[in-house]
Structures are given as C-alpha cells and as structure tokens.
C-alpha cells in the first residue's frame, strides 16, 4: 500500500508546483487597459457558458446518481448492503465534480495566461512561450494530480477497484458532454468568424470589427481548454480503473500506483525544465520536454521495479506503451507539422481551389491513420505476449499496463495541449488590443507550434484511449467472470457478437455526424447574425462603432447546450439497447466494433483537421500568394471543414468510446441476466 500513499504525496507536490506556476503567470504584467478589457470579455463569456452547461449536466448527474443507487453494485431490493450503493454513488459524484473542476481550473488559468503571453510577446518569443507553457502546465499538473489523488483516496476508503470504475464513469460522462458542448461552441464561432471575416470581408482573423471574434476566443477556452481537461482527466482515470480491476486478483495494485505516481513525478520535473532553446523553436521546446519526461519516467520506473522486486516484464509493457505513444505523436507531427511536406502540398493544392484543398487534406488524414493504428495494435500485441508467461490473467494486465505507460507522462501532454489554445488566444487578444505587427509575428509562430503540439497530443491521447478501451474490454470480461463465473469469448462467427460489432462500428460515425451537424446549424445562425450587424450597425465596417459581441456568444452558448445532450445520449442509449437485446456477447462485439471504428475516425479527423489548419497558416506566412489570395481563401475553407473535425468530433470520440466501455462494465450483470436473446 506504500505506493497508494506516495501517490497522494506526489499529487500534493503537483498541486504545489501548479499553484507556484499560477501565481508566477498571474504576476506577469499586462500591456494596457484595452488588453485587460478584451481579456475580461473573454473570461466572462467562458465562465457564463461553463455555468450554463454545468447546470444542465447537474440534472443529468442527478438522474444517473439515482439509477446507480438503485442498481449498483447490486439492486437495493436484492438484500445486499445499501452502503455499497451509497459508496458507488459518492464515487460517481466525486468523479463528476473533479472532472468539472478540471474545466474550471483550465479556464481560470487560460484566461489569465493568454493576456500575459500576449504582453510578453512585446519582449520576444522566449518570455511569451514561457508564459503560455507555464499556464498550460497549471492545467496539466492539476488535472493529473487530481485524478491520481482521487483514485488513491477512493481505493483506500473502499478497497474495491469496481468503485473506482464508478469514479471513472463520473469523470467520463461529464467529459463526454463537456468536450462535445465545448467543441460545438468553439467551432460555431471559429467557422462563422473565418468565413465572414477572411473570405467575405477580407479583414484580419481577430479584427475587433467582427462580431464573432470574442465568441471565437471564448471558444478556445471552453472547447480546447475546459473540454480537453475533462477529456484527459477521464482518459487517465479510466486507464487506472481498468488496470486496477485486472491487477487486484493478481496482487499488483501497488505496481499500478507506482507507475502512475512516478509518471506524475516525471511530468513535474519535465515542466520545470522546459525552456525555449537558443534557436528559439517552440515546437522543438515542446517536443524536447516530452522526450525528457519520457527518459525520466523510464529511469525512475526501472529503479522502482528493481528496488521493489516487481516483474521486469510488466515494466517492459509499460515502457512499450510509452514508446508507442511517442511514435504515434511523431507520425501525427509528420502529417500536421507546418515544416513538413504534407502541409506544404495541401497549401500548394489550394492554388487550384478549395475542392483540391479538401481532397488532398482528407487523403493525408486517411493515410495518417495507418501508422497510429498499427502502433496501438503492436503495443497491445507486444505487451500481451510479454506478460503472458507470468501466469493466468497477466496477459491482459500487460495491455492495461501498456495503457498506463502511454498515459504515464500525461501531465506533460496536457501542458503541451493547453499551451495551444493559450497562445492562440494570445494572438487574438494582441490583435484586438493593437499591440503591433511584431507581436503578431511572435504569437503566430507560437500558435503554429501550438497547432502541431495539439495534433501530436491528440494523436497521443487517441492512442492511449485505444489501449485503455482494450483494457476496459478485458475489464468487462473480468467483471462477468467474477460475478457469474463465466468467461465470455467474442467469436465474430457468433451472430450476437457480429450484430453488436456492426452497431458498435456505426455509433462513432453517427455521434460524429450529430456533432458536426450541430456545428453546421449553429454556424449558419451566427453567420446570419454577423451579416445583420454589419448591415444594421452604422460605422461597424469603418471601425467607428462596436459590434454586439454578447449576441454571438449567446448564439454559440444556446446552440452548444441544445446539441450536446442528444449526441451523448445516443451513444449511451445504443449501448444499453445492444446489451438488453443481445446480452454480454453482443456487448463484447459492440465494444470491439466501437473501438476500431472510433479510433479510425478520431485519427482521420484529428490529423486532417490539424493539417488543414496549418496549411492555412502556411499560406498566410506568405507562400502561394499569401493573405488575400485565391489560395488563401481556399485554405480558409479547408480550415473551416477541419475545425469541427479536429476540435469537436475527433477528440470527443475518445470519450465516447470510454463512456460506452465503462457503461458496459457497470451494467455487465444486468446484461447477463436480463437480455432478450
């Protein structure tokens, strides 16, 4: 149990470093009052959206809490201890609350760090980078520390990993809606602002005359920061919960906490060492921090494995997962990096029109899925066979350990990911506050690195989600075996399994379509509103009058909240329907189909979207005609297609897969006893 207590201690250390970074960023100067005013508008809009979204999700949480109390771990009318049901509900509510807190922490620091990074850009790229990165590190360390401490405390109280599954379900269910809602909000505003501003009116990206510009910057926070924080909080705790369920019968719980604890410690050291080198490449600094963290984690865990007499095979599985995660990130960098050939080729294709932008970008997105999927498959295969000789149950523990290894440096991953929207916002507020072209040049370079970092971290998180849900599939199998004494075999020749697989494969596509259609509908409404303001507000075009920013924020908020519930419920209801129709065998097929289809779509959309975004920036940097050219307009259209791909549907699929996997494990015995077939 020593590592469980050490997990809490290292989490407290992470909170301390996060608090230090928070105060360090907050004390940095702000350029002028105009910048403060713009920042206040963004902050107010972000928290307004979050409050309205969380009120709706609180009702959802109350309904699910009532269901859990009645049914889990056993129906209250079956004669079991009601106290167990109360603990399950408490764990679920705790997970939901901490996942929501991750969003609040993210927005709180991001809406400060964007102003400080913009101001620091007046002095150069190094101080601006450090302000943005340390702002992101607050998010990274706080999220991982909270998830690790939460899991440790719940395990100490209950001693039951199945209760940790309830904690994970709370985090996942809120993350599903938070990521979907934030993604719809941010891309509604982004698409409307780009199409009306850049394409129709020929004004700069963050021109204060554009009524959608504040909503666009608010969206960076509610989608890319709050939603992403909840998403990776969910991925981290889901991997831990799955590994703990498999590890408990084998007496390896301590090893799981050892990996998670040392991973967080490595991330703390990594973010403290992060600096911009002499050559001043933000991408190199972000990637270098990731590699340093990986090396520290490898050395720390090897030492702990030898010192505590853990199996080197289990350690090898964890390192396999970490290495494959880095490889997936590198392949994502190749397809999305602004200094790589795919981005240049898509930018060049834009000279021939938007159709060629779309065709080339989508093709590269499809190509990018192969190395990542092969990597996930190899990580599962290697870790499975590496640990199988240790005895029965260890092969699946090997896969679970690989997932933990891939997520071991998640503190650094979140820091890099949160850096992206912070410097994107810094660029926006710098333009609105009129800080000058030199500042915009600095923030553009930071923003391009942020886009690449986001693509890499999304590839990393998708890969981790892939291994995690494979582990959750094993968890589902283990839950049924422990409760019913039956080992389920998912034979695709079994029509029940095949039925489930077909439905499961369709759900990520339907889920994505609903989110993208939501963005489409809301963007059209906002475009109409922008046209109305330019046509009816005298002096708006000339810059002598102010637009009604609040109206665009309201359109994005109302639309996102209206659209997020149906998409999330579709995935949940489909899982329950398959389970009660076909039983546990159909659910096994459902999860298999959902995993394969979901990972493919998530990778394609994430990488294609990142490629289109950096293709646009490549043209804006002066290539192929530069800003205002036909190639630029085509590249902007490609970027608007890619926006809901990479920031709404793509990353939300990770959480959708995790949610249906957790629901399957929680409802496993009901599916076993109450199915139609």
SS3 293: helix
Mean pLDDT of 519-538: 91
Q: Residue 456's pLDDT is what?
A: 67
Contact 615, 638 (CB under 8 A): yes
- Tell me how far apart the alpha carbons of residues 114 and 137 are, in angstroms, rounded to a whole number: 13
Contact 118, 439 (CB under 8 A): yes
Written as one string, the DSSP assignment of 451-508 is HHHHHHHHHHHHHHHHHHHHHHHHHHHHHHHHHHS------TTSHHHHHHHHHHHHHH
The pLDDT tens digits of the residues spanning 490-528 come to: 788 899 999 999 999 999 999 999 999 999 999 999 999
- Tell me how far apart the alpha carbons of residues 255 and 401 are, in angstroms, rounded to a whole number: 9
- Tell me how far apart the alpha carbons of residues 67 and 476 are, in angstroms, rounded to a whole number: 20
- Tell me how far apart the alpha carbons of residues 395 and 474 are, in angstroms, rounded to a whole number: 10
Q: Residue 89's pLDDT is what?
A: 93
Contact 58, 149 (CB under 8 A): no
CA neighbours closer than 13 Å in the CB half-sphere of residue 611: 36
- Tell me how far apart the alpha carbons of residues 181 and 178 are, in angstroms, rounded to a whole number: 5
Q: Residue 201's pLDDT is what?
A: 76
| Confidence bin at 474 (pLDDT 50/70/90) | confident
For the chain, what percentages of helix, strand and coil (3-state, to nearest 5) are there?
Answer: 85, 0, 15
Q: Quick check: 354 pLDDT over 70?
A: yes
- Tell me how far apart the alpha carbons of residues 227 and 215 are, in angstroms, rounded to a whole number: 16
The conformation of residue 495, written as its DSSP 8-state character, comes to H
The conformation of residue 626, written as its DSSP 8-state character, comes to -
Chain-centre distance for alpha carbon 501: 25
- Tell me how far apart the alpha carbons of residues 42 and 215 are, in angstroms, rounded to a whole number: 8
Length of the chain: 677
Contact 593, 502 (CB under 8 A): yes
How many separate helices (H) and strands (E) can be counted in the chain? Answer: 20, 0
Contact 35, 429 (CB under 8 A): yes
Q: Residue 455's pLDDT is what?
A: 62
Q: Residue 643's pLDDT is what?
A: 87
CA quadruple 611, 615, 617, 618: dihedral sign:
positive
Angle among Cα 544, 546, 547 to the nearest 5 degrees reads 130
The pLDDT tens digits of the residues spanning 74-131 come to: 788 877 778 888 999 999 999 999 888 888 888 899 899 999 999 999 888 889 999 9
Chain-centre distance for alpha carbon 561: 19
CA neighbours closer than 13 Å in the CB half-sphere of residue 452: 27
Mean pLDDT of 386-412: 90
The pLDDT tens digits of the residues spanning 634-650 come to: 999 999 899 899 888 98
Q: How far is CA 380 from CA 75, 377, 396, 405, 660, in A?
A: 35, 5, 9, 12, 20
Q: H-type helices in 308-436, by residue range?
A: 312-336, 341-349, 354-387, 394-406, 410-432
Tell me the percentage of the chain whose pLDDT exceeds 90. Answer: 42
Q: Quick check: 351 pLDDT over 90?
A: yes
Q: Residue 641's pLDDT is what?
A: 92
Contact 317, 398 (CB under 8 A): yes
Q: Quick check: 379 pLDDT over 70?
A: yes
Of residues 429 and 199, more confidence is placed in 429
Token pair recorded at residue 565: 């519930």
Q: Residue 307's pLDDT is what?
A: 95
Residue carrying structure tokens 């991973």: 263
Tell me which residue of 224, 227, 208 sits closest to 41, measured CA to CA.
208
Contact 131, 120 (CB under 8 A): yes
CA neighbours closer than 13 Å in the CB half-sphere of residue 12: 8
Q: Residue 112's pLDDT is what?
A: 92
Q: H-type helices in 485-538, by residue range?
A: 495-536
The full set of domain ranges for the chain reads: 2-673
- Tell me how far apart the alpha carbons of residues 22 and 355 are, in angstroms, rounded to a whole number: 45
| Confidence bin at 665 (pLDDT 50/70/90) | confident
Q: H-type helices in 248-353, by residue range?
A: 253-273, 282-307, 312-336, 341-349
| Confidence bin at 279 (pLDDT 50/70/90) | low
Q: Residue 205's pLDDT is what?
A: 67
Q: Residue 224's pLDDT is what?
A: 76
Q: H-type helices in 542-623, by residue range?
A: 549-620
Mean pLDDT of 218-240: 80
Sequence-separated (6 or more) residues with CB below 8 Å from residue 93? 61, 65, 170
Contact 627, 620 (CB under 8 A): yes
- Tell me how far apart the alpha carbons of residues 110 and 121 are, in angstroms, rounded to a whole number: 16
Contact 146, 234 (CB under 8 A): no
Q: Residue 461's pLDDT is what?
A: 72
Q: Which of 158-167, 311-320, 533-542 has the highest mean predicted lDDT (pLDDT)?
A: 311-320
The mean of the pLDDT values for the chain is: 88
């Amino acid at each position: 149990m020593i590592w469980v207590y050490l997990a809490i201690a290292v989490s407290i250390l992470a909170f301390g470093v996060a608090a230090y970074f928070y105060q360090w960023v907050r004390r940095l100067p702000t350029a002028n009052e105009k910048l403060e005013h713009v920042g206040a508008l963004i902050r107010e809009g972000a928290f307004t959206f979050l409050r309205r979204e969380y009120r709706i999700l609180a009702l959802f949480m109350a309904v699910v809490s009532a269901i859990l109390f009645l049914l889990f771990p056993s129906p209250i009318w079956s004669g079991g201890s009601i106290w167990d049901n109360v603990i399950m509900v408490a764990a679920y509510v705790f997970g939901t609350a901490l996942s929501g807190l991750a969003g609040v922490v993210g927005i709180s620091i991001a809406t400060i760090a964007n102003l400080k990074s913009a101001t620091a850009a007046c002095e150069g790229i190094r101080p601006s980078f450090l302000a943005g990165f340390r702002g992101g590190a607050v998010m990274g360390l706080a999220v991982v520390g909270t998830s690790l401490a939460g899991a440790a405390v719940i395990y100490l109280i209950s001693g039951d990993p199945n209760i940790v599954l309830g904690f994970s379900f709370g985090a996942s269910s809120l993350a599903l809606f938070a990521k979907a809602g934030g993604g719809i909000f941010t891309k509604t505003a982004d698409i409307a602002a780009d199409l009306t501003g850049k394409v129709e009116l020929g004004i700069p990206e963050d021109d204060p005359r554009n009524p959608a510009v504040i909503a666009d910057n608010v969206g960076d926070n509610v989608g890319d920061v709050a939603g992403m924080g909840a998403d990776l909080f969910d991925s981290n705790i889901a991997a831990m919960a799955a590994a703990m369920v498999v590890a408990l019968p084998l007496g390896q719980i301590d090893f799981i906490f050892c990996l998670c604890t040392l991973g967080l410690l490595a991330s703390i050291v990594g973010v403290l060492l992060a600096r911009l080198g002499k050559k001043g490449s933000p991408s190199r600094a972000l990637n270098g921090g990731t590699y340093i963290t990986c090396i520290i984690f490898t050395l720390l865990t090897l030492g702990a494995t030898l010192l505590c007499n853990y199996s080197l095979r289990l350690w090898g599985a964890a390192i396999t997962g970490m290495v494959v995660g880095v490889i997936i990130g590198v392949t994502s960098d190749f397809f999305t990096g602004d200094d790589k050939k795919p981005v240049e080729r898509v930018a060049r294709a834009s000279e021939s029109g938007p159709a060629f932008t779309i065709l080339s970008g989508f093709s590269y997105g499809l190509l990018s899925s192969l190395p990542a999927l092969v990597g996930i498959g190899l990580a599962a295969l290697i870790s499975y066979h590496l640990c199988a000789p240790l005895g029965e149950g260890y092969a699946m523990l090997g896969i679970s350990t690989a997932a933990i290894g891939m997520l071991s440096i998640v503190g650094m991953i979140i820091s890099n990911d949160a850096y992206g929207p912070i410097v994107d916002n810094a660029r926006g507020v710098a333009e609105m506050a009129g800080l000058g072209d030199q500042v915009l040049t600095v923030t553009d370079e930071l923003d391009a690195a942020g886009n690449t970092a986001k693509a890499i971290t999304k590839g990393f998180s998708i890969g981790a989600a892939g291994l995690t849900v494979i582990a959750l599939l094993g968890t589902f199998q283990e839950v049924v075996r422990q409760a019913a004494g039956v080992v389920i075999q998912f034979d695709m020749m079994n029509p029940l399994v095949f039925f489930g697989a077909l439905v499961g494969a369709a759900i990520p596509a339907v889920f994505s379509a609903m989110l993208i259609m939501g963005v489409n509908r809301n963007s059209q409404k906002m475009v109409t509103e922008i046209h109305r303001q330019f046509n009816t507000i005298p002096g708006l075009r000339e810059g002598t009058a102010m637009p009604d920013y609040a109206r665009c924020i309201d359109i994005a908020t109302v639309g996102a909240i209206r659209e997020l519930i149906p998409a999330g419920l579709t995935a949940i209801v489909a899982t329950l329907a398959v389970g009660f129709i076909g039983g546990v065998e159909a659910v096994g097929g459902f999860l298999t189909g959902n995993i394969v289809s979901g990972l493919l779509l998530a990778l394609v959309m994430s990488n294609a979207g990142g490629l289109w975004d950096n293709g646009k920036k490549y043209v804006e940097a002066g290539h192929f005609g530069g800003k205002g050219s036909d190639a630029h307009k085509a590249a902007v259209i490609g970027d608007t297609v890619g926006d809901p791909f990479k920031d709404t549907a793509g990353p939300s699929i990770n959480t959708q897969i995790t949610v249906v996997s957790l629901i399957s494990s929680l409802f496993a015995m009901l599916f076993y006893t109450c199915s139609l077939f």
